[in-house]
Amino acid sequence: MNSKAVILLIMTLSVKSLFAQELSSWIDNNTFKYKIVRVSLQLKTEEKAVPSKYLIKAELPENARNDLKKLTKKEWLALLSNDKSDWAANLFLYDLFERDAFLFNTTKNREQWCLSLKQKDIDFWKKKLKE
Protein backbone atom coordinates (compact mmCIF):
# COMPACT_ATOMS: atom_id res chain seq x y z
CA MET A 1 0.00 0.00 0.00
CA ASN A 2 1.51 3.35 -0.96
CA SER A 3 1.69 6.37 1.35
CA LYS A 4 -1.18 8.22 -0.37
CA ALA A 5 -3.50 5.28 0.18
CA VAL A 6 -2.47 5.05 3.85
CA ILE A 7 -3.07 8.77 4.37
CA LEU A 8 -6.45 8.54 2.66
CA LEU A 9 -7.39 5.54 4.81
CA ILE A 10 -6.38 7.34 8.01
CA MET A 11 -8.34 10.45 7.01
CA THR A 12 -11.42 8.40 6.16
CA LEU A 13 -11.29 6.54 9.47
CA SER A 14 -10.81 9.81 11.37
CA VAL A 15 -13.84 11.41 9.69
CA LYS A 16 -15.96 8.32 10.39
CA SER A 17 -14.84 8.34 14.02
CA LEU A 18 -15.77 12.02 14.43
CA PHE A 19 -19.15 11.39 12.80
CA ALA A 20 -19.81 8.44 15.12
CA GLN A 21 -19.01 10.61 18.15
CA GLU A 22 -21.33 13.37 16.95
CA LEU A 23 -24.02 10.82 16.14
CA SER A 24 -23.88 9.36 19.63
CA SER A 25 -24.31 12.84 21.11
CA TRP A 26 -27.33 13.61 18.88
CA ILE A 27 -29.09 10.25 19.25
CA ASP A 28 -28.70 9.69 22.97
CA ASN A 29 -31.67 8.66 25.11
CA ASN A 30 -30.48 10.77 28.05
CA THR A 31 -30.01 14.05 26.18
CA PHE A 32 -32.40 13.92 23.22
CA LYS A 33 -34.85 16.82 23.29
CA TYR A 34 -38.15 16.91 21.43
CA LYS A 35 -41.65 18.26 21.59
CA ILE A 36 -45.02 17.01 20.44
CA VAL A 37 -46.99 19.40 18.27
CA ARG A 38 -50.52 19.13 16.96
CA VAL A 39 -50.99 19.92 13.29
CA SER A 40 -54.51 21.00 12.39
CA LEU A 41 -56.59 19.72 9.52
CA GLN A 42 -55.07 20.85 6.20
CA LEU A 43 -57.13 21.36 3.07
CA LYS A 44 -55.06 20.35 0.04
CA THR A 45 -57.86 20.83 -2.47
CA GLU A 46 -61.61 21.27 -2.21
CA GLU A 47 -61.97 17.48 -2.24
CA LYS A 48 -58.86 16.44 -0.35
CA ALA A 49 -57.91 17.12 3.26
CA VAL A 50 -55.12 15.86 5.49
CA PRO A 51 -56.53 15.08 8.95
CA SER A 52 -55.04 16.65 12.04
CA LYS A 53 -52.27 14.70 13.72
CA TYR A 54 -49.57 14.89 16.34
CA LEU A 55 -45.94 15.16 15.26
CA ILE A 56 -42.63 14.75 17.03
CA LYS A 57 -40.28 17.69 16.50
CA ALA A 58 -36.68 16.89 17.40
CA GLU A 59 -34.68 19.80 18.75
CA LEU A 60 -31.51 19.30 16.72
CA PRO A 61 -29.26 21.62 14.73
CA GLU A 62 -29.75 21.55 10.97
CA ASN A 63 -26.34 19.94 10.35
CA ALA A 64 -27.29 17.08 12.69
CA ARG A 65 -30.59 16.59 10.87
CA ASN A 66 -28.81 16.49 7.52
CA ASP A 67 -26.26 13.96 8.75
CA LEU A 68 -28.90 11.74 10.32
CA LYS A 69 -30.93 11.70 7.10
CA LYS A 70 -27.96 9.99 5.41
CA LEU A 71 -27.93 6.97 7.73
CA THR A 72 -28.61 3.59 6.18
CA LYS A 73 -31.35 1.19 7.23
CA LYS A 74 -28.70 -0.98 8.88
CA GLU A 75 -27.40 1.98 10.91
CA TRP A 76 -30.92 2.96 12.01
CA LEU A 77 -31.74 -0.58 13.07
CA ALA A 78 -28.50 -0.70 15.07
CA LEU A 79 -29.50 2.52 16.86
CA LEU A 80 -32.99 1.13 17.50
CA SER A 81 -31.43 -2.01 19.00
CA ASN A 82 -29.14 -0.13 21.38
CA ASP A 83 -30.55 0.67 24.82
CA LYS A 84 -28.62 3.96 24.86
CA SER A 85 -30.10 5.24 21.58
CA ASP A 86 -33.32 3.32 20.80
CA TRP A 87 -35.78 5.88 22.19
CA ALA A 88 -34.01 8.88 20.61
CA ALA A 89 -33.63 7.12 17.24
CA ASN A 90 -37.31 6.24 17.19
CA LEU A 91 -38.35 9.79 18.05
CA PHE A 92 -36.14 11.23 15.32
CA LEU A 93 -37.57 8.79 12.77
CA TYR A 94 -41.08 9.90 13.76
CA ASP A 95 -39.93 13.46 13.08
CA LEU A 96 -38.18 12.62 9.81
CA PHE A 97 -41.13 10.73 8.33
CA GLU A 98 -43.82 12.88 9.99
CA ARG A 99 -45.46 9.77 11.40
CA ASP A 100 -48.52 10.43 13.53
CA ALA A 101 -47.36 10.46 17.15
CA PHE A 102 -50.77 10.46 18.84
CA LEU A 103 -49.79 7.63 21.21
CA PHE A 104 -46.86 9.68 22.52
CA ASN A 105 -49.37 11.84 24.37
CA THR A 106 -49.60 8.99 26.86
CA THR A 107 -46.24 7.31 26.24
CA LYS A 108 -44.02 9.89 27.91
CA ASN A 109 -40.72 8.06 28.37
CA ARG A 110 -38.53 5.22 27.18
CA GLU A 111 -39.73 2.77 29.83
CA GLN A 112 -43.38 3.15 28.80
CA TRP A 113 -42.40 2.95 25.13
CA CYS A 114 -40.43 -0.28 25.68
CA LEU A 115 -43.41 -1.87 27.40
CA SER A 116 -46.02 -0.90 24.85
CA LEU A 117 -44.77 0.32 21.47
CA LYS A 118 -41.10 -0.46 20.91
CA GLN A 119 -41.46 -3.68 18.96
CA LYS A 120 -44.32 -2.32 16.85
CA ASP A 121 -42.29 0.77 16.00
CA ILE A 122 -39.19 -1.26 15.12
CA ASP A 123 -41.27 -3.53 12.87
CA PHE A 124 -42.71 -0.43 11.19
CA TRP A 125 -39.23 1.09 10.60
CA LYS A 126 -37.94 -2.22 9.20
CA LYS A 127 -40.58 -1.97 6.49
CA LYS A 128 -40.45 1.80 6.00
CA LEU A 129 -36.70 2.36 5.79
CA LYS A 130 -34.96 1.72 2.50
CA GLU A 131 -31.72 -0.23 2.25
Tell me: the pLDDT tens digits for 59-111?
Answer: 999 999 999 999 999 999 999 999 999 999 999 999 999 999 999 989 999 99
Residue 117 CA to residue 114 CA, distance in Å, equals 6
What's this model's pTM, rounded to 2 decimal places? Answer: 0.80
Distances (CA, A) of 100 to 3, 57, 125: 52, 11, 13
Cβ contact 95:55 at 8 Å? yes
Q: Given this model, what pLDDT does residue 12 score?
A: 46
Tell me: the pLDDT tens digits for 12-33?
Answer: 444 444 444 466 689 999 999 9
Measure CA 79 to chain center: 9
Amino acid at 72: T
Q: Given this model, what pLDDT does residue 43 score?
A: 84
Cβ contact 33:58 at 8 Å? yes
